[in-house]
A and B are shown apart, each in its own frame.
Chain A
Amino acid sequence: MKNLYFLKNKLQTTTFIILAMIPVFVDSYYVNNISFFMLWTFIALSLSLIWGKGGILSFGQAAFFGLAGYSFGIIGINFADVFGVGVWSVILALIITGIFGLIVGYFLFYGGIYDVFVGIVTLSITLVFETFMSQTAGPEWTVGIARLNGFNGMQGMPSIGINLFGHNFEALDNKGYYVILALAVLAIYLLDKLANSKFGLVLSASKEDRLRVQSLGYNVKKVHMLTFAISSVLAGMSGILYTNWGGFITPESMGLVSAALPVVYCAASGKNNFFAVFLGTILLVWISQELAINGRQFALIFMGLLLVIATRYFPDGMFLFFIDLLKKITQKVIGN
């Protein structure tokens, strides 16, 4: 527990300060890249909440990612000239995703679906989304004036930002680096709060023994449904930021591989610790981008290896293990 305390305070604060200073010293090309690494942390954090804290393995995060991305795009393209669309389209897309997450959560947990079956149902939902979006290539598939464009993906949406007093505050500067960083800090703070609240404790307890928590008078189904909805909104945040970063979204973002990636990030980093997931995701997206230079296959093999090694040898997460090790070594050297 002492190790976690260290991690949560000194390391966390230092990391955020370093991340905030990076754009001052580093070339904007790299800053853009780090924005890209950081936007994936939200979907990983969403899985960390539902899987790490709640013990429910969901493969639906990719579906929420895609749903939010597409909603953001469709709203943005249709209302491109309306004031402040770059802000309220984000909020609206998150609300749509949250409502969908709530409905799926209700359907799952009030229907008594648990364990591996949650994984199968959520994977089916993700695949339904992908299959449906892939066949929307024809001109008949439009929402308002937004072409869905099938396998090639949708593009041309206005980016996040707002036009105030003639000045354009676009989050596109450095691909929205500070916006993403601020959102990530906020998300980790709120998630830590949530996990330590009564709600979070009920969630963690029901991971160990659902029936017992229920017998103590807590509404476990409701807790699970709400957690699922919260995690869907977080995953949706990633989808919106991704769409904003590249200016496009494709059905591939809801495929089998995309559904696997957040699971890799969480399992390898340490799914119980939000900050470890945040750092681990940045690191893993970076490494896989470097590996993908020689072909995407190599990056995916690396991801698969990580997944196998992490479940086999480090059930609590590889990244967390190394941080703890580092801490122990420094303690030995300095002598406390």
Chain B
Amino acid sequence: MVLLFNIIFQVTDAISFLLLSAIGLAVIFGMMKIINLAHGEFITVGAYGTVVTAKMGLPLPIAMACGVLVTVIFGFILERLIIRYIYGRPLDSVVATWGISLIVSQAFLIIFGPSTEGLKSPLGSFQVGDYSFSEYRILLIFVSFLILVLLYLLFMKSSFGTLARATIEKPVTSSALGVDVQKVYTITFCIGAGLAGLTGALYIPTMTAVPSLGQAFIVSAFVSVVTAGASPFVGLVPAAAFLGSFQTGITFFYHATIGLIGLLFAVIMIIRFLPSGFSGLIKRGR
């Protein structure tokens, strides 16, 4: 019973980590077909925004909101300056966002130094049998699913969601019908950036603040989005569930490095044998 609870906790924790790390990337890739290699740095911006404002004495939830806000502004500036010129050039978007990632991560290293004093993990922990569990990690699991539901409602039920999906499907037609295409792109990109910032803000109390912290997320983010396939909203949950259980299983029997290698290997195999990812599998099954 205790062991079962432990396994369930480990697996859902891994799944929610994958979900949260991928969600910002999934919005930007799924809606705009831009592979954002600076995704990890967006997470770093959110995390540092939270740390800096929390150090100034703001309570943690408000500091987190500030972190998200900073990331949204950061995303907005980048979209205006660079990203909007490379829509429709997928390979160039990879290259340009990689450049952004290099600049931002190294700038963080110069400004904040190799490590900053982190935040205390909020909430307490509880005991099940011999194992101790962090209440905050449990909260994160629920938050990750809540965000997913909210996003689904935003893009599938709200009028903005309808406009956004129409614009992504047929930009020229939407433009002719009076939709401000540029504005929709900018807002969608900012939502993606904000979600990445939220990921950083939510996870920073559980990790040390180093300039390369975004890189801890980026591999998980990419593997989840890629295995989710062409429509990440549909495929993200099954993809994260599969990869999360897979990685936890391997890590459980071997160790974390082999877990990561197994994860990357699984992704290569999924792209090869299931090119449209989990969303393709679901659509085929219907």
- A residues with a Cβ closer than 8 A to B are 55, 57, 107, 111-113, 115-117, 119-121, 123-125, 127-128, 131-132, 134-135, 256-257, 260, 263-264, 267, 295, 297-298, 300-301, 303-308, 311-312, 315
Contact of B261 among A119, A131, A264, A308 (CB under 8 A): A131
A119-B35, A120-B271, A297-B110 are known; give 5 further A-B pairs, CB within 8 A.
Answer: A55-B91, A113-B271, A260-B98, A297-B106, A311-B86
Q: Give every chain B residue within 8 A of A107 (Cβ-Cβ).
A: 272
Check if B215 sits within 8 Å of A256, measured CB to CB. Answer: yes
Chain B, range 68-118, C-beta contacts under 8 Å to A: 82, 85-86, 90-92, 94-96, 98-104, 106-107, 109-110
Check if B257 sits within 8 Å of A131, measured CB to CB. Answer: yes
B199 shortest CB reach to chain A, Å: 19
Q: Give every chain B residue within 8 A of A116 (Cβ-Cβ).
A: 35, 90-91, 94
Q: Give every chain A residue within 8 A of B86 (Cβ-Cβ).
A: 311-312
User: How far, in angstroms, from A115 to B219 measured CA to CA in the complex?
Assistant: 19
Check if B92 sits within 8 Å of A311, measured CB to CB. Answer: yes
Q: Give every chain A residue within 8 A of B104 (Cβ-Cβ).
A: 304
Contact of A263 among B98, B100, B260, B272 (CB under 8 A): B98
A256 shortest CB reach to chain B, Å: 7
Q: Does B249 have its Cβ within 8 Å of any Cβ on chain A?
A: no
User: How far, in angstroms, from A267 to B96 measured CA to CA in the complex?
Assistant: 10
User: How far, in angstroms, from A55 to B89 measured CA to CA in the complex?
Assistant: 12
Count of CB-CB pairs between chains A and B under 8 Å: 109
Contact of B100 among A111, A113, A117, A308 (CB under 8 A): A308
Q: Does B222 have its Cβ within 8 Å of any Cβ on chain A?
A: yes
B275 shortest CB reach to chain A, Å: 6
Check if B35 sits within 8 Å of A312, measured CB to CB. Answer: no
Check if A305 sits within 8 Å of B271, measured CB to CB. Answer: no
Q: Give every chain A residue within 8 A of B106 (Cβ-Cβ).
A: 297-298, 300-301, 304
User: How far, in angstroms, from A124 to B123 measured CA to CA in the complex?
Assistant: 36
Given A117-B226, A120-B222, A120-B226, verify A311-B271 contact (CB < 8 Å).
no
Q: Is the interface of A mostly helix, strand, loop or mixed?
A: helix
Check if A307 sits within 8 Å of B102, measured CB to CB. Answer: yes
Contact of A301 among B90, B98, B102, B226 (CB under 8 A): B102
Check if B268 sits within 8 Å of A124, measured CB to CB. Answer: yes
Can you offer 27 A-B residue contacts whose CB atoms are under 8 A?
A57-B91, A115-B90, A116-B90, A116-B91, A116-B94, A117-B271, A117-B275, A121-B267, A121-B272, A124-B265, A127-B219, A128-B261, A256-B215, A263-B95, A263-B98, A267-B95, A295-B110, A297-B107, A301-B102, A301-B106, A301-B110, A304-B98, A305-B99, A305-B103, A311-B95, A311-B96, A312-B96
Instruction: List the 6 closest A-B pairs by CB distance, nearest first.
Output: A307-B99, A304-B102, A304-B103, A308-B99, A297-B106, A311-B96
A7 shortest CB reach to chain B, Å: 23
Q: Give every chain A residue within 8 A of B181 (Cβ-Cβ).
A: none
A141 shortest CB reach to chain B, Å: 12
Q: Give every chain A residue within 8 A of B222 (Cβ-Cβ).
A: 120, 123
Given A127-B219, A128-B265, A301-B102, verify A135-B82 contact (CB < 8 Å).
no
State the interface size on chain B (CB cutoff 8 A). 37
Check if B102 sits within 8 Å of A260, measured CB to CB. Answer: yes
Q: Does B264 have its Cβ within 8 Å of any Cβ on chain A?
A: yes
Q: Give every chain A residue within 8 A of B85 (Cβ-Cβ).
A: 312
Check if B268 sits within 8 Å of A121, measured CB to CB. Answer: yes
Q: Which residue of chain B has the shortest Cβ distance to A119 in the bound complex?
A: B94
User: How far, in angstroms, from A260 to B107 measured CA to CA in the complex?
Assistant: 17
Check if B100 sits within 8 Å of A304, measured CB to CB. Answer: yes
Q: Give every chain B residue within 8 A of A307 (Cβ-Cβ).
A: 95-96, 98-99, 102
Check if A135 sits within 8 Å of B257, measured CB to CB. Answer: yes
Check if B98 sits within 8 Å of A131, measured CB to CB. Answer: no
Chain B, range 263-278, C-beta contacts under 8 Å to A: 264-265, 267-268, 271-273, 275
Given A57-B94, A116-B90, A119-B35, verify A308-B272 contact (CB < 8 Å).
no
Check if B226 sits within 8 Å of A308, measured CB to CB. Answer: no
Check if B272 sits within 8 Å of A132, measured CB to CB. Answer: no
Check if A297 sits within 8 Å of B109, measured CB to CB. Answer: yes
B222 shortest CB reach to chain A, Å: 6
User: How far, in angstroms, from A125 to B90 measured CA to CA in the complex?
Assistant: 21
Q: Which residue of chain B has the shortest Cβ distance to A303 in the bound complex?
A: B102
Check if B101 sits within 8 Å of A304, measured CB to CB. Answer: yes
A296 shortest CB reach to chain B, Å: 8
Contact of A304 among B90, B99, B223, B261 (CB under 8 A): B99
User: How far, in angstroms, from A90 to B102 measured CA to CA in the complex?
Assistant: 33
Q: Give every chain A residue within 8 A of B267 (Cβ-Cβ).
A: 120-121, 124
Q: Give every chain A residue within 8 A of B109 (Cβ-Cβ).
A: 297
Q: Give every chain A residue within 8 A of B264 (Cβ-Cβ).
A: 124-125, 127-128, 131
B185 shortest CB reach to chain A, Å: 16
Q: Which residue of chain A has the shortest Cβ distance to B255 in the bound complex?
A: A135
Check if A312 sits within 8 Å of B265, measured CB to CB. Answer: no
A69 shortest CB reach to chain B, Å: 20
